[in-house]
Structure 1
Amino acid sequence: MLRTLVALCALALMSCGGPSPGPLPPGPEAAGRAIATPHPRFADHDPHAWDGEAPWSYPVHGIDVSRWQGAIDWATARAAGVSFAFVKATEGVEELDPMFRTHWEGAGRAGVARGAYHYFYFCAPADAQARWFIANVPRSAASLPHVLDMEWNPRSPTCRHRPDPATVRAEAKTFLDILERHYGRRPVVYTTVDFSRDTGIERLPGTEFWLRSVAGHPRETYPGARWTFWQYTGTGRVEGVPGPVDINVFRGSLASWTAWERSAL
């Protein structure tokens, strides 16, 4: 998620707290969320020469966004082939992404399937972080499963702690369990190659995974791992989105996407 630059900037600009603005109302949804253009092939600011199974062999693509994408023309992005979006909501126990509400409502109006994600902070309890997410993300029948983003942040100015693998997995389970009870579906876990290697996060049972792999297919970078989403670039170019953006694919056919999305509603 452009994590190196984005995480540094986000933490550097992190607010010092303050009261939550309260939960966001669900907002309008476009009628019918049919798939956008199947098998879109987006441009890239820093393209990778894919060998073998390329990302565009998958029919369903989407983006993940935060404040760093700025104002997005969601209708244009959907017309370009964006079928789903994961929107950054919260981080730790006090940061709410200032563009969350704008992105959340814009995606909904355009008929883009949407979920929210939380960036985990290793110096705060998982239950407190879950409560912060719940305080800011609506319980909407039209949402996709939400996401727990777990990755190391070696440049954080406030927390570079790296718990042992068992602690990481236990904290993740606590967060996932709380959100599952509240929203009715277990969140997806997003992770990176080094975090996966260091923690064995994919050992969590009953959990779907979203894997970052920008220079190779997940079967190469995460041998034997199960996954539902694959983030294949952090420098994508999508009409309607100013500047670079992360692009992802859903693992499966159009029919399996429809079934998966409906099971979330």
Structure 2
Amino acid sequence: MPKLRIKKSRRLIFALLFLLCLTFGAWLWWREREEALNFVRYEEFGIDMPVNYSIHGIDVSRFQKNINWAAVEQMQVERIHISFAFIKATEGITRQDALFKQNWQKAKKAGIVRGAYHFFYSTRDPLKQVINFQNVVQLEAGDLPPVLDIEVHNNQPPAVIRSTARIWLEEMEKAYGVKPIIYTNMHFYETYLGEEFDRYPLWVAHYYQKERPSTQRHWLFWQHSDIGRVNGISTTVDFNVFRGDSLALRKLCLP
């Protein structure tokens, strides 16, 4: 092989190695940044907040009573303000949250990205639970996907919980054309759901500990506190973060 070709090959190899090292270094920097979780106390919100995340939200039900959504949206402390809200809609086959409709309408009017959740029972007919949700919730473009709140086993074996949850999730995906979000804690997920549900976006409950949810399973939302405070709400409220930026949050919503 001529010397010129050898020199060119060496230069190409060195360039590729340099790019590889650069890429690996960037990945390490991102990983360290992701792993170095930092909580900061915000007295205005009444809790320590994980400031590694830029998108913050709440979840509410009738227990938060009448909410002034304009005040919720207008509250901002440094870079933290409420960008999204999950709102309880239904439970089981017959129950509807008494304040859902007004929360649903006023959250949108205030400019907060909204999502609706259903509290699920594996002891109830999953198709009737689908109907209950769809009769109450009118999802629109810009809303978050429907949420399956599944956190009680009611003495049912994992196989029953998986089969009933699967029906609810699949029916919702057919109806709205997006994968529903699963809300639960990691113990319940790993014990009663498992890998076959890994294709669904996960909203994980994990609070009272200043560390991320202990799981290799990718999650999108993290409920990190249930004792937060925000203007416009007279009670304590659950606080969440979204694992992404505002563009990723919008992309997750219904088209």
Q: Given residue 62 of structure 1, which amino acid in structure 2 is its aligned partner?
A: G
Pair 1:189-2:194 in alignment: no
Residue in structure 1 matched with residue 141 of structure 2 by the alignment: 141
TM-fit CA distance, 1:41: 5.0
Structure with max Cα Rg = 2
- Asked whether the equivalents of residues 218 and 230 of structure 1 are also in contact (C-alpha less than 8 Å), the reply is no
Residues paired across the two proteins, number: 211
Residue in structure 2 matched with residue 76 of structure 1 by the alignment: 71
- Asked whether the equivalents of residues 61 and 249 of structure 1 are also in contact (C-alpha less than 8 Å), the reply is yes
Rounded Cα–Cα distance in structure 2 between residues aligned with 1:214 and 1:223: 14
TM-fit CA distance, 1:161: 2.2
Q: Percent identity?
A: 36
- Asked whether the equivalents of residues 209 and 227 of structure 1 are also in contact (C-alpha less than 8 Å), the reply is yes
Q: Given residue 64 of structure 1, which amino acid in structure 2 is its aligned partner?
A: D
Rounded Cα–Cα distance in structure 2 between residues aligned with 1:214 and 1:195: 15
Pick which of 83-92 and 210-219 moved more.
210-219
SS in 2 for 1:231: strand
- Asked whether the equivalents of residues 40 and 59 of structure 1 are also in contact (C-alpha less than 8 Å), the reply is no
- Asked whether the equivalents of residues 145 and 252 of structure 2 are also in contact (C-alpha less than 8 Å), the reply is no
Rounded Cα–Cα distance in structure 2 between residues aligned with 1:177 and 1:200: 15
TM-fit CA distance, 1:218: 6.5
TM-fit CA distance, 1:40: 11
Residue in structure 2 matched with residue 215 of structure 1 by the alignment: 208
- Asked whether the equivalents of residues 122 and 162 of structure 1 are also in contact (C-alpha less than 8 Å), the reply is no
Q: What are structure 1's unaligned runs of at least 5 residues?
A: 1-38, 49-53, 153-159
Q: Given residue 209 of structure 1, which amino acid in structure 2 is its aligned partner?
A: L
Rounded Cα–Cα distance in structure 2 between residues aligned with 1:108 and 1:195: 32
Higher strand share: 2
Rounded Cα–Cα distance in structure 1 between residues aligned with 2:169 and 2:68: 31
Q: Given residue 175 of structure 1, which amino acid in structure 2 is its aligned partner?
A: W
TM-fit CA distance, 1:136: 1.0
Residue in structure 2 matched with residue 177 of structure 1 by the alignment: 170
Rounded Cα–Cα distance in structure 1 between residues aligned with 2:210 and 2:165: 25
Give deviations 1:44-96, integer Å, cap 9, x for gaps: 55x46xxxxx6222000111100000111111111121111111000000100
SS in 1 for 2:200: coil
In the alignment, which of 236, 243, 248 is matched to residue 251 of structure 1? 243
Tell me which stretches of 4 or more aligned residues in structure 1 moved more than 2 Å: 39-45, 200-203, 215-219, 253-261
Relative contact order: is structure 1 or structure 2 higher (C-alpha 8 Å, sep ≥ 6)?
1
Q: Given residue 71 of structure 1, which amino acid in structure 2 is its aligned partner?
A: N
- Asked whether the equivalents of residues 65 and 87 of structure 1 are also in contact (C-alpha less than 8 Å), the reply is yes
TM-fit CA distance, 1:121: 1.6
Do the aligned partners of residues 202 and 237 (structure 1) sit closer, same or farther apart at CA in structure 2, a change above 3 Å counting? farther
Do the aligned partners of residues 78 and 249 (structure 1) sit closer, same or farther apart at CA in structure 2, a change above 3 Å counting? same
Residue in structure 2 matched with residue 15 of structure 1 by the alignment: none
Residue in structure 2 matched with residue 26 of structure 1 by the alignment: none
Higher helix share: 2
Give deviations 1:190-217, integer Å, cap 9, x for gaps: 0013312421345414200000010336
Q: Given residue 71 of structure 2, which amino acid in structure 1 is its aligned partner?
A: T
Q: Given residue 57 of structure 2, which amino acid in structure 1 is its aligned partner?
A: G
Rounded Cα–Cα distance in structure 1 between residues aligned with 2:239 and 2:43: 9
Residues 29-108 of structure 1 mapped to structure 2, 5 A cutoff: 43=44, 45=46, 47=47, 55-80=50-75, 81-108=81-108
In the alignment, which of 136, 141, 161 is matched to residue 168 of structure 1? 161
Q: Given residue 222 of structure 1, which amino acid in structure 2 is its aligned partner?
A: S
Residue in structure 2 matched with residue 116 of structure 1 by the alignment: 116
- Asked whether the equivalents of residues 40 and 61 of structure 1 are also in contact (C-alpha less than 8 Å), the reply is no
- Asked whether the equivalents of residues 42 and 236 of structure 1 are also in contact (C-alpha less than 8 Å), the reply is no
Rounded Cα–Cα distance in structure 1 between residues aligned with 2:173 and 2:112: 22
- Asked whether the equivalents of residues 43 and 236 of structure 1 are also in contact (C-alpha less than 8 Å), the reply is no
Rounded Cα–Cα distance in structure 2 between residues aligned with 1:184 and 1:125: 22
Rounded Cα–Cα distance in structure 2 between residues aligned with 1:172 and 1:100: 23
